[in-house]
Structure 1
Amino acid sequence: MYGCAAAYGVQDKIHATIQRLLTLLGMRTSTYNFDMRIDKDYNVYLMEVAPRDGGNYIPQAIRYATGIDLVECSVKAAMGEKIEIPEHIQPQGCWAYYAVHSLKDGILKQVVIDPEVERNHLVENHLIVKPGDEIHSFIGANSTLGILVMKFDSLEQMLDMIENADRWIQIEYSMTENYISENKGGVKNNYITFIQFRSALVYGTSG
């Protein structure tokens, strides 16, 4: 399971819900992407299932955590080949993908990542924008600025760094502000630099 930092009791419920669905529908071994919600009483609600690995470099993060290559498994399943995966897999370490996005429309100046974080926690950098590109406020996956695959020393460290992401990542961008010039009475373009904090969505897995 990816994207779950919940207690093992809740993870057991999630696993049981998924297994029940697969059994009832007679679904064979392959790769699937599940969306679920958990309420305050820890009831699990299955919202969506799709026959795919998942986007945002989720397969890569899972491969780092478990050694299982979901892309390879998908290809084997499509070709009718046998997929051999241990029944019980214990993730090693804490891994997450971090979806970087902007809070406002503008022109990107730069994405600044703390050098220590880049050195010790950033495993893969998949930013798809460059300085000068037009960026848009986040309304969906199509407005993501890129994905970071990250590792952490502990679950506590992962949650702390994500909760306080403004300590290590900033999005600098310019916005065009139209205003009326008091002197000339005309409209001018004034470029203002903004620094954005708390710029991402994150999901993680831990051992």
Structure 2
Amino acid sequence: MEREQRSILLLGGSRQQVVAIECAKRLGYRTILCDYLPDNPGQFAADVFYQESTTDRDRMLEIARAEGVSGVLAYASDPAALTAAYVAEALGLPTNPLAAVETLSTKHLFRAYLAEHGFPAPAAHPVPVGSDADEVAKIASHMRQPVVIKPTDSSGSKGVSVLDHPDADAVWDALEAAATFSRNGVLLLEEYIRAAFPRVIGGDIFVVDGMVRFWGLMSCLRDESLGGLVPIGERCPSGLSCAQERAVRDQIQALVDSLGLRFGEFNVEIIVGEDDTPYFLELGARAGGNMIPVQLSDISGIDLIEANVRAAMGDAALDVAFDGSDAAAATYVLHADRAGTLAGVDIAPEIAPCIYRTVMYVEPGQPVERFDGAGKALGIFFLRFDDVAHMERLLDGITARIRAVVS
């Protein structure tokens, strides 16, 4: 008798999520996709498509029951990670604890958890949407400057403002910007963490049976001309000293232990502070955006997309053990510094030989927006270099070496 095909529920069918759908099909699973956007590309790869919001927990649970799924995966999606944990926990499917995922996915809960459990954390205050700007400015005046105002349930640096002088006018603008990207109605006012190491540590880890087995620590590239808040790529190796990396690893494993996380890929953002203390910006309960899993799969030789799909289905057969690499590699997020129409991409001759893969999201002739969040990326360039010195030389001024031409 032929064995019945098992089904997996995939939450989200964006350009970056199609790889998970294709991987699940390659592994022999029946793919059920949910995405509220009518033009999402994932629907053309999945076996079954529902045009439904992945943040509607009860509707996702209803679909999961009706389709008899054996696993749920919110690949590279912060909002859907909560739904995936909710559905999987309700159905007794593989998942990390819903309470832990809620803590990781909600910034004010995460900051409170860090402080309550002895992890380094900046002073922070949750602020309801609609709060009086004068009152928030008064709170900010008693905090170390500068301060940050951000939504607590969004990703990709959307709606984040750094205020050097948080007077009422500046605070009002920041509150408005953050509220635009807030679904839960809670914003966060927190102290800006002063860094000793010049770049934010980013990348992904993979946990198996409560232990970090895959260490994909890199460091983030930023475009300072656009405010320096949104990552425009990742470079490997990170550049941390041995002592700094050990401190970062120790903090990550301690947080994994504290939250009771059991398995899966997690996206890391950490600032190494002035005293070389690691401060968590995020430990996202999902694989990283900007195709970080693809980048790390190239570097490590381990298929992290497959590992994600298998883990969601309760299969830990794929060995993900990886302790980092000295190979010089990077990604670069193509972006526009102003709105207009993409006319093309200008690539400097000295960096062209380093590009080994290009994934374009926008084609010439299509409209583009000024880059102020990860969702406005135009494409991803994957690069390899001869060595770290070669990489650092070419990444210095990368925005001029790979440039979107906008008309």
- Structure 1 length-normalised TM: 0.76
CA distance in 2 between partners of 1:111 and 1:2 (Å):
29
The answer as to whether partners of 2:268 and 2:283 remain within 8 angstroms in 1 is yes
- Segments of structure 1 that go 5 or more residues without pairing to the other structure are 175-207
- Segments of structure 2 that go 5 or more residues without pairing to the other structure are 1-215, 220-237
Q: Which residue of 1 aligns with 2:396?
A: 163
Q: Which residue of 1 aligns with 2:108?
A: none
- Higher deviation after alignment, 71-80 or 47-56: 47-56
Matches within 5 A, 1:48-87: 48-82=282-316, 83-86=318-321
Instruction: After the TM superposition, list the runs of 4 or more consecutive aligned residues in structure 1 that deviate by more than 4 angstroms.
Output: none
Partner AA of 1:55 in structure 2: G
The structure in which a higher percent of residues are strand is 1
Deviation at 1:166, TM superposition (A): 5.1
Distance 1:144 1:167, change over 3 A: closer
Match of 1:105 among 314, 322, 339: 339
Match of 1:3 among 196, 199, 218: 218
Partner AA of 1:161 in structure 2: L
Distance 1:49 1:142, change over 3 A: same
CA distance in 2 between partners of 1:92 and 1:156 (Å):
12
Percent of aligned pairs with the same amino acid: 28
The answer as to whether partners of 2:334 and 2:402 remain within 8 angstroms in 1 is no
Across the aligned residues of Structure 1 and Structure 2, the Cα RMSD in angstroms comes to 1.8
Matches within 5 A, 1:1-207: 1-4=216-219, 5=238, 6-82=240-316, 83-86=318-321, 89-91=323-325, 93-115=327-349, 117-118=351-352, 120-165=353-398, 168-174=401-407
Q: Which residue of 1 aligns with 2:223?
A: none
User: Which string of whole-angstrom CA distances, capped at 9 and with x for unpartnered residues, describes residues 127-154 of structure 1?
Assistant: 2222221111111012111111111111
Distance 1:85 1:143, change over 3 A: closer
CA distance in 1 between partners of 2:403 and 2:279 (Å):
35
Partner AA of 1:3 in structure 2: M
Secondary structure of the residue that 1:124 maps to in structure 2? Answer: strand
Secondary structure of the residue that 1:32 maps to in structure 2? Answer: strand
Partner AA of 2:218 in structure 1: G
Report how many residues are paired. 172
- Structure 2 length-normalised TM: 0.40
Higher normalized contact order (CA 8 Å, seq sep 6+, divided by chain length): 1
Partner AA of 1:85 in structure 2: V
The answer as to whether partners of 1:64 and 1:95 remain within 8 angstroms in 2 is no
The structure in which a higher percent of residues are helix is 2
